[in-house]
Amino acid sequence: MLDDVDPLVDSVNEDEAFALLQELSGNTPDEIRRQRAHFRLTVKAPVILQPGNSSELLSLKVKGVTGDISEGGLKAVFPIPTRVGDIYRMQFDRATLDIPLTFARCVRCRLVREDAFEAGFRFFAPICLPEQAATGQPSQWET
């Protein structure tokens, strides 16, 4: 059975495969939170998601809501699943959350309920959070 493996397909190094499986088994929700590099703020703000590739810009435009945000990424909920590994263009409602157009890679997506998918994104470049967040002053968008 194992002899039927196509010799043209590169085989996976057993040690590398074992190390990857050990790393995946350690990806518990608590461990993921512990490894976060940036402070996260709970923010409920509209965000429009489109493909990052300009030739595909008109193929998808979906509105979601952020759940939390940091200078390195965000969590948001959308009515359809996002593709893990894909690059997206994210446009925020500047009146609600003053962050310019930015690009991010989807790093995770999970079903929350039939019409809601939670997705995690990592920004390609760190963003500056609004001044109210840095000074601790209350703002209109904090929840």
Q: Which residue has the higher pLDDT, 7 or 123?
A: 123
The Cα–Cα gap between 94 and 47 comes to 10
Q: Which residue has the higher pLDDT, 96 or 106?
A: 106
- At residue 25, the pLDDT reads 66
pLDDT in tens, 17-70: 677 666 666 666 665 555 554 566 788 889 999 998 887 877 889 999 998 888
Yes or no: say if 141 and 43 are a contact pair by the CB < 8 Å rule: yes
pTM: 0.65
Angle 37-51-59 (CA atoms, 0-180°, nearest 5)? 160
Residue ranges and CATH numbers for the domains of the chain are: 38-135 (2.40.10.220)
The Cα–Cα gap between 19 and 70 comes to 29
